[in-house]
């Protein structure tokens, strides 16, 4: 994967991009720049692996339905000053893809916050938009379906791939691609970490 190409194209598209060698460096930098804020989290194995909820809760009010009462946390995350999530895939051509079941995460990527942070390991990079969508649909979504023990064909059969199912457990209902940052230049931070994180 060409990290330099991804950084160049994401930057040209108006995203504020930073690269960190390690997750510790990334968590330290994010923790230092955010204080006294309300922060909403989307569902994300990456955020969980980084321990960001714990790190940011020291100096901010963080809402995350994975750690708190889901109904209350989801509602408060929507109106938080800052929103954080990861990505299911990022193209080296400069687009960011997320797939969502309930829609809270992809809705929050689009509107309603002073700043959006998208934090991802470089394992999420794909060469172009079609391959990024391929990654999101055939790697990220099936692995998430398995994590959630969904009774979907991607979770229950090999080889692992999307069957574009009609299952009641389907988790792929909303597909959002950020081609450019919504809400203005500089408001969407893309934090890339040179490690494998999440799916």
Q: How far is the CB of 126 from ligand SF4 (least distance, A)?
A: 16
Q: In the numeric block, which tokens belong to residue 111?
A: 């509107």
CB of 164 to ligand SF4, least distance (A): 5
Q: Report the residue number, 42 or 142, with the smaller CB distance to ligand SF4.
A: 142
Place of tokens 């901010």: 60
Nearer to ligand SF4, 121 or 153 (CB): 153
Which of residues 154 and 193 has its CB atom nearest to ligand SF4 in the complex?
A: 154
Gap between the Cα atoms of 66 and 74, Å rounded: 9
Q: Could you tell me the smallest distance in angstroms from the CB atom of residue 159 to ligand SF4?
A: 12
Residue with smaller CB distance to ligand SF4, 15 or 199: 199
Least distance in Å: CB of 134 to ligand SF4?
A: 12
The C-alpha R_g of the chain, in whole angstroms, comes to 16
110 or 148: CB nearest ligand SF4:
148
Residue ranges in contact with ligand SF4 by CB under 6 A: 137, 141-142, 145, 152-154, 162-165, 167, 170-172
| Closest approach of ligand SF4 to the CB of residue 30, in Å | 30
């Amino acid at each position: 994967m060409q990290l330099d190409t991804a950084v160049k194209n994401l930057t040209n598209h108006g995203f504020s991009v930073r690269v960190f060698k390690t997750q510790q460096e990334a968590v330290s930098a994010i923790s230092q720049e955010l204080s006294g804020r309300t922060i909403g989290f989307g569902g994300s194995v990456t955020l969980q692996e980084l321990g960001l909820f714990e790190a940011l809760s020291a100096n901010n009010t963080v809402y995350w339905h994975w750690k708190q009462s889901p109904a209350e946390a989801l509602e408060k995350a929507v109106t938080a000053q800052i929103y954080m999530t990861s990505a299911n895939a990022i193209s080296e051509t400069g687009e960011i893809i997320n797939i969502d079941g309930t829609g809270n995460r992809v809705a929050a990527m689009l509107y309603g916050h002073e700043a959006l942070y998208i934090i991802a390991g470089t394992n999420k990079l794909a060469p172009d938009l079609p391959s990024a969508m391929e990654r999101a649909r055939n790697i990220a979504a099936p692995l998430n379906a398995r994590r959630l023990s969904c009774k979907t064909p991607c979770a229950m059969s090999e080889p692992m791939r999307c069957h574009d199912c009609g299952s009641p457990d389907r988790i792929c209902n909303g597909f959002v691609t950020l081609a450019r940052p919504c809400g203005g230049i500089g408001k969407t931070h893309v934090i890339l970490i040179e490690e494998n994180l999440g799916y």
